[in-house]
């Protein structure tokens, strides 16, 4: 939240009043895009954190459902914000564990930020740009850079423990399976390492992989840029099956109780039966050539997908029918998160939105300082999201969690005008 202070020195008839000065302080705050007078007050006292965070990987890892912890209703309050001084924007998500948020930026810096007040615990400068969400497990932080180097650092100190050269850029975020770390590179290779840095296997999958591998039991579900959905045995990297979607895939799949759901570059969302590989449904309510770069979140039978038609789509996980559509003012490339019956999602219009999961109605929004392509994190009663100007925001509810229904300020399914 940006504040501006104006000081006016007033003199009346050449006579100096009140010891020669009259100081009038006006404080303006910007929230939700509106500037309104706000009286000066004492510095905000931060409420103590009562829970440790548990969001260790992209979309919370595992099956990549994007489901967060219980959280209070909007309106949200900005607890703190952090600005990277390296000039790099944040387009990957954070991993948040314990009392620390770990996030990389376009300048190649991995930051460890204190969850309580937004201060820097440590930083680590990688060889080049970071475009994947870190994985935090066993006291270590794992991530890759766009030169193909994969890192393991101490989560407490940022000390480098080991690196592995995987040759091609790594934008696929790592996930954890059976205690080991799995990820892919842009050359289409999948890798599995022990936490200590021993390679378990490496296997060629496709021509390119951007998305994170979803983990279901001992199987990995991987969307490839050649249009195939690969299912891989996590023990040896062997391919178990391959599904041809016929569409370029950059998003990660979500392995949900309704099926394996993911979107493609031609504006479609698919759902496959994980047992038979049969296509259960196709959602084509986005429009041709309106890319689905974001990964789907799922909860309570609703799949939520952002797309480059400037909209967030609520889809029935069982049938693929549209439940609602919410229009923003820009592309929605960050993957949504779901918690307490609400959807948390950012847009390149520079706003961060909280929507009702079942109606799509807007409950609250916040105007950030720049476009948002960051996938939000909802854990320990906090919401973490970043923007493309290198800022990280931490929000908390002004109220405790409640069972009372939310009231939408703007309904979904209003007319959508595409540029």
3-state secondary structure 336-403: CEEECCEEEEECCCCEEEEEECCCCCEEEEEECCCCCCCCCEEECCEEEEECCCCEEEEEEECCCCCC
Of the candidates 373, 385, 337, 387, the one whose C-alpha atom is nearest the C-alpha of residue 101 is: 385
- Ramachandran area for residue 226 (φ above 0: left; ψ -120 to 50: alpha; else beta): alpha
Residue 46: its pLDDT value, please?
A: 86
- Ramachandran area for residue 409 (φ above 0: left; ψ -120 to 50: alpha; else beta): alpha
92: pLDDT strictly greater than 70: yes
Task: Extract the runs of DSSP E, i.e. beta strands, from 175-253.
Answer: 175-177, 180-184, 189-193, 199-204, 214-216, 219-223, 228-233, 239-244
- Chain segment 325-377, per-residue pLDDT in tens: 999 999 999 999 999 999 999 999 999 999 999 999 999 999 999 999 999 99
Are 289 and 264 in contact by the 8 Å Cβ rule? The answer is no
Q: Which two tokens stand for residue 219?
A: 């199987």
Q: In the chain, what are the domain boundaries?
A: 1-41, 42-397
Are 397 and 363 in contact by the 8 Å Cβ rule? The answer is no
- Chain segment 161-218, per-residue pLDDT in tens: 999 999 999 999 999 999 999 999 999 999 999 999 999 999 998 888 989 999 999 9
* 3-state DSSP assignment of residue 42: coil
Are 138 and 167 in contact by the 8 Å Cβ rule? The answer is no
**Mean predicted confidence (pLDDT) in 252-279:** 94
Please tell me the distance from the alpha carbon of residue 366 to that of residue 354, in angstroms, as a whole number. 9
Please tell me the distance from the alpha carbon of residue 277 to that of residue 259, in angstroms, as a whole number. 9
Residue 204: its pLDDT value, please?
A: 93
Tally of CB atoms within 10 A around 165: 8
Please tell me the distance from the alpha carbon of residue 80 to that of residue 68, in angstroms, as a whole number. 20
Q: Taking the mean position of all CA atoms in its chain, how far away is CA 159? A: 25
* 3-state DSSP assignment of residue 240: strand
Beta bridge partners, 354, equal 344, 364
CATH topology classification for 42-397: Methylamine Dehydrogenase; Chain H (2.130.10)
Q: What is the pTM of this model?
A: 0.87
Residue 21: its pLDDT value, please?
A: 32
Instruction: For 157-168, give the secondary structure using H, E and C.
Output: CCCEEEEEECCC
């Amino acid at each position: 939240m940006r504040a501006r202070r104006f000081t006016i020195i007033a003199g009346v008839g050449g006579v100096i009043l009140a010891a020669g000065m009259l100081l009038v302080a006006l404080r303006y705050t910007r929230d939700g895009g509106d500037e309104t007078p706000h009286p000066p007050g004492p510095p905000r006292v931060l409420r103590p954190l009562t829970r440790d965070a548990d969001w260790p990987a992209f979309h919370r890892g595992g099956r990549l459902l994007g489901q967060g912890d219980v959280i209070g209703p909007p309106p949200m309050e900005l607890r703190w914000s952090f600005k990277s001084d390296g000039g790099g924007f944040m387009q990957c998500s954070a991993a948040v564990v314990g009392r620390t948020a770990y996030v990389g930026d376009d300048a190649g810096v991995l930051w460890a930020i204190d969850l309580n007040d937004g201060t820097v615990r440590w930083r680590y400068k990688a060889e080049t740009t970071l475009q994947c969400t870190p994985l935090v497990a066993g006291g270590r932080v794992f991530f890759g850079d766009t030169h193909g180097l994969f890192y393991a650092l101490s989560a407490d100190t940022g000390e480098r423990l080991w690196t592995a050269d995987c040759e091609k850029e790594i934008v696929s975020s790592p996930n954890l399976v059976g205690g080991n770390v799995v990820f892919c590179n842009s050359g289409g290779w999948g890798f599995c390492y022990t936490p200590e840095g021993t390679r378990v296997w490496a296997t060629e999958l496709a021509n390119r992989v951007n998305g994170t591998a979803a983990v279901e039991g001992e199987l990995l579900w991987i969307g490839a840029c050649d249009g195939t959905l690969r299912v891989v045995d996590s023990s040896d990297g062997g391919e178990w099956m391959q599904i041809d979607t016929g569409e370029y895939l950059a998003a990660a799949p979500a392995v949900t109780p309704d099926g394996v759901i993911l979107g493609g570059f031609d504006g479609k969302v698919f759902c496959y039966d994980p047992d038979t590989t049969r296509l259960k449904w196709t959602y084509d309510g986005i429009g041709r050539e309106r890319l689905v770069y974001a990964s789907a979140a799922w909860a309570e039978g609703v799949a939520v997908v952002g797309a480059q038609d400037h909209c967030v789509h609520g889809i029935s996980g069982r049938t693929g029918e549209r439940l609602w559509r919410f229009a923003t003012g820009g592309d929605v490339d960050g993957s949504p998160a779901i918690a307490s019956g609400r959807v948390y999602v950012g847009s390149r219009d520079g706003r961060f939105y909280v929507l009702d999961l079942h109606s799509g109605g807007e409950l609250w929004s916040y105007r950030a300082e720049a476009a948002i392509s960051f996938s939000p994190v909802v854990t320990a009663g906090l919401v973490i999201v970043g923007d493309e100007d290198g800022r990280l925001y931490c929000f908390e509810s002004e109220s405790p969690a409640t069972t009372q229904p939310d009231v939408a300020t703007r309904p979904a399914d209003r007319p959508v005008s595409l540029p």
